[in-house]
């Protein structure tokens, strides 16, 4: 009566499979558990948002996700320029700073973010000293906005001020642009909230020297295909978030001859010395490339694809393609990881930065299989690294054919986080991250692995359901 005989999924009592097996039909037992954190209403809401060719909502969600995935996978992010932020980023003018994560006001900001704001105010010459800078912020004389609202992404505190040089990444497939500051390296750096003279000195050198050098180099060299560099780097032990040594090397190798040709010997030596010493230089490019790709997939009504995951040191926030510019937030925790000697979890700031855009795009923690060294941060083995990536396939819609993972038989990276799958399975997106000291100015004190809070994804589904007029309860 059923075409091709019975082939069954058994959900619940395992013993119900026995008669089916005895009758010679095929059956698969699920390791079922109550979905959606054992919340039946949320589970039903998620079920109502599932694809269904015979239902208007199910059709819309399926088509929207297909569209989002096509745009995400089809993105072509190129590094085209390095420009002062006020020239590159629309609307970033006057006394305005961008910060990482979902929007947050000065009074709620964490230590490292406040430190970075003080540093940026000093760098821009808005204040003479730290105290004056704080007073400016307290009096509301500095405007703040989230990087994500203006096409930008910033690691850790993510502070972008008008005269900082930013990389300009153009997604030629969709024509949109994304921006990120230049990576400062490790040690005392603005993104971890440090603002002493060495930090400000480096920022000035970026503005006056490195930025223009890179701009000239790119002009002479032509755009650099960032997707191609990431694809190669994934086969060389990088994962595009916490390990960038291969990608940085590939970038420098490709730009060095032109950089030397277009610069004075002293400038070229200084620039190449800096790049040689900064294994993380590519991180900000990786982030901008991911942002340019995900922004192209953003804003498709009905889509459950996650287009941003980000933290501001107080809250974790996500955005869905189908819920426009709404943020869904939850308190953010301290990552699980290893600390530099002399530091421990009690010193750590809760997780911080826009760098989880890499995981949102299917690399970073999602590509852990490419970089087994990363799992040592949490005492894991090489096999654990593969399992992190395998687990992420459970919550993503596609495998990115451009980003192949050799240890998994060259399978593509898990791409296109589906909020429905996260809510249903309870599998939390994994994020590789650095750990900042909670006091401004101390800097990085460790690195580790964080998990995105589930409630953000549940709230995002509720938000989407409200837009689609899908009821939570019967």
Partner 1 sequence: MSVVRQRVFRNAYRDSVELMRIAAEIEHLPGVIRAGLVMCTPANLAIVTDAGLGKGLDPAAGPNDMVVALAAKDDEAAEAAFERAATLMRGAGEESPGDGRRFVPTTIAEALGELPEANLALISTPGPYAAAEALKALKRGLHVFLFSDNVSIHDEIDLKRLGARKGLLVMGPDCGTAILDGVPLGFANVVRRGGVGLVGASGTGLQQVTCLLDAFGAGVSQAIGVGGRDLHEEIGGLMMLAGLERLAADDGTNVIVLISKPPDAPVAATVLAAAAAVSKPVVVNFLGGDAEPIRAAGAHPAATFEEAARTAARLSLGAEPVSLDGDEPEARLLEGDDALGPGRIAGLFSGGSLASEAKVVLKDLLGAEVAADQQIVDLGDDEYTVGRPHPMIDPRLRSEKIVEAGQNPAVSVILLDIVLGYASHPDPAGALIPAIDAARRAATEGGRRLAVVAAVCGTPGDPQGLAGQREILIDAGVHLAASNARAARMAGLMVQPAAMREVPA
CB of 117 within 8 A of CB of 142?
A: yes
2 binds partner 1 (CB under 8 A): yes
Question: Least distance from C-beta 45 to partner 1, angstroms?
Answer: 9
| Minimal distance, residue 189 CB to partner 1, in Å | 38
From residue 232, alpha-carbon distances to 75, 226, 236, 245 in Å are 17, 10, 7, 12
Radius of gyration of the CA atoms of the chain, in A: 23
If one asks whether residue 409 binds partner 1 (CB under 8 A), the answer comes out as no
Distances (CA, A) of 408 to 367, 368, 399, 412: 10, 11, 12, 9
Query: If binding is defined by CB under 8 A, does position 266 make contact with partner 1?
Result: no
Among 10, 228, 254, 402, binds partner 1 (CB under 8 A): 10
The answer to the question of residue 336 lying near partner 1 (CB under 8 A) is: no
Nearer to partner 1, 3 or 139 (CB): 3
Kindly tell me which residue out of 12, 341, 342, 409 binds partner 1, with binding defined by CB under 8 A: 12
- Check residue 424 for interaction with partner 1 (CB under 8 A): yes
Q: Which is nearer to partner 1, 400 or 433 (CB)?
A: 400
Concatenated DSSP letters of 72-117:
HHT--EEEEEEEEHHHHSTT--SSEEEESSS---GGG--HHHHHHH
* CB 417, min distance to partner 1, A: 14
The yes or no reply on residue 428 touching partner 1 (CB under 8 A) is no
Q: Does 469 bind partner 1 (CB under 8 A)?
A: no
Q: Which is nearer to partner 1, 31 or 107 (CB)?
A: 31
By beta-carbon proximity to partner 1, the closer residue of 40 and 277 is: 40
Interface with partner 1 in residues 213-252 (CB under 8 A): none
**Of residues 25 and 404, the one with the C-beta less far from partner 1:** 25
Query: Shortest distance, CB of residue 39 to partner 1, whole angstroms?
Result: 9
Q: What is the DSSP letter of 279?
A: T
Size of the site for partner 1 (CB under 8 A): 54
Please, what is the minimum distance in Å from the beta carbon of residue 398 to partner 1? 13
Residues 6+ apart with CB under 8 A from 246: 232, 233, 236, 237, 238
Within residues 110-169, the interface with partner 1 by CB under 8 A covers none
Residues near 145 by Cβ (< 8 Å), separated by ≥ 6? 96, 97, 98, 99, 103
- Is 29 near partner 1 (CB under 8 A)? yes
Q: Which residues pair with 143 in a beta bridge?
A: 96
Overall residue count recorded for the chain in this entry: 474
- Least Cα distance to 151 among 325, 375, 347 occurs for 325
Q: Measuring CA to CA, which residue among 125, 129, 126, 130 is closest to residue 141?
A: 126
Q: Does 63 bind partner 1 (CB under 8 A)?
A: no
Interface residue with partner 1, options 28, 143, 220, 466 (CB under 8 A) = 28
User: 175 CB contacts (<8 Å, ≥6 apart)?
Assistant: none
Classify 164 as helix, strand or coil.
coil
Taking the least distance from each CB to partner 1, the nearer of 283 and 449 is 449
Residue 390 found at the interface with partner 1 (CB under 8 A): yes
| CA 453 – CA 429 distance, rounded (Å) | 8
Closest CA to 359 of 280, 317, 417, 444: 417
Q: Is the Cβ of residue 23 or residue 143 nearer to partner 1 in the bound state?
A: 23
Which residue, 30 or 324, has its beta carbon nearer to partner 1?
30
Selected binder of partner 1 within 128, 265, 426, 440 (CB under 8 A): 426
Residue 411 in contact with residue 368, Cβ under 8 Å? Answer: no
Asked if 13 touches partner 1 (CB under 8 A), the answer is yes
| Contact between residue 49 and residue 464 where contact means Cβ atoms under 8 Å apart | yes
Burial class, 105, CB count within 10 angstroms (exposed 0-12 / middle 13-18 / buried 19+): exposed
Q: For residue 458, which of 357, 326, 351, 328 has the smallest C-alpha distance?
A: 328
Q: Does 50 bind partner 1 (CB under 8 A)?
A: yes
Segment near partner 1 (CB under 8 A), from 18-26, 203-211, 262-270, 404-412?
18-26
**Nearest distance from residue 412's CB to partner 1, in Å?**
15
Q: Which stretch binds partner 1 (CB under 8 A): 17-25, 245-253, 283-291, 353-361?
A: 17-25
Q: Note whether 373 and 388 are within 8 A (CB).
A: no
* Sites of contact with partner 1 (CB under 8 A): 1-16, 18-20, 22-23, 25-35, 37-38, 40, 43-44, 46-48, 50-52, 54-55, 58, 387, 390, 394, 421, 424-426, 474
């Amino acid at each position: 009566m059923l075409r091709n005989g019975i082939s069954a999924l058994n959900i619940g009592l395992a013993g119900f499979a026995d008669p089916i097996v005895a009758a010679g039909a095929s059956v698969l037992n699920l390791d079922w558990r109550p979905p959606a954190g054992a919340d039946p209403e949320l589970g039903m809401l998620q079920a109502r948002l599932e694809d269904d060719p015979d239902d208007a909502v199910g059709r819309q969600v399926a088509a929207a996700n297909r569209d989002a995935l096509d745009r995400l996978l089809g993105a072509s992010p190129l590094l085209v320029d390095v420009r002062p932020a006020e020239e590159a980023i629309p609307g970033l003018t006057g006394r305005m700073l961008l910060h990482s994560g979902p929007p947050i006001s000065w009074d709620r900001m964490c230590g490292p973010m406040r430190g970075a704001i003080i540093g940026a105010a000093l760098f821009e010459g808005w204040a003479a000293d730290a105290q004056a800078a704080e007073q400016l912020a307290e009096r509301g004389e500095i405007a703040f906005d989230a990087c994500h609202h203006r096409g930008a992404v910033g690691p850790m505190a993510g502070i972008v001020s008008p005269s900082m040089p930013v990389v300009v990444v153009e997604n030629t497939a969709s024509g949109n642009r994304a921006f990120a500051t230049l990576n400062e390296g490790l040690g005392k750096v603005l993104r971890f909230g440090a603002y002493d003279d060495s930090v400000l000195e480096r920022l000035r050198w970026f503005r006056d020297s490195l930025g223009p050098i890179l701009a000239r180099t790119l002009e002479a060299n032509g755009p650099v295909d960032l997707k191609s560099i990431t694809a190669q780097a994934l086969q060389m032990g990088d994962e595009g978030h916490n390990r960038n040594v291969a990608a940085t090397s590939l970038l420098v190798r490709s730009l060095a001859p032109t950089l030397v040709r277009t610069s004075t010997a002293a400038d070229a030596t200084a620039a190449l010395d800096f790049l040689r010493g900064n294994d993380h230089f590519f991180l900000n490019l990786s982030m901008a490339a991911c942002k340019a790709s995900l922004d192209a997939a953003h804003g498709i009504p009905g889509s459950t694809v996650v287009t941003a995951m980000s933290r501001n040191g107080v809250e974790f926030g996500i955005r869905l393609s189908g819920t426009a510019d709404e943020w869904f937030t939850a308190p953010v925790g301290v990552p699980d990881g290893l600390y530099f000697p002399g530091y421990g979890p009690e010193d750590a700031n809760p997780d911080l930065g826009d760098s989880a855009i890499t995981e949102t795009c299917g690399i970073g923690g999602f590509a852990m299989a490419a970089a087994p060294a990363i799992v040592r941060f949490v005492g894991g083995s090489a096999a654990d690294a593969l399992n992190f990536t395998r687990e992420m396939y459970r919550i993503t819609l596609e495998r990115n054919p451009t980003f192949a993972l050799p240890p998994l038989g060259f399978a593509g990276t898990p791409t296109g986080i589906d909020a429905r799958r996260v809510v249903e399975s309870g599998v939390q997106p994994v994020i590789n991250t650095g750990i900042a000291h909670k006091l401004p100015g101390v800097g990085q004190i460790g690195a580790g692995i964080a998990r995105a809070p589930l409630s953000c994804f549940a709230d995002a589904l509720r938000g989407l359901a409200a837009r689609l007029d899908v009821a939570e309860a019967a």
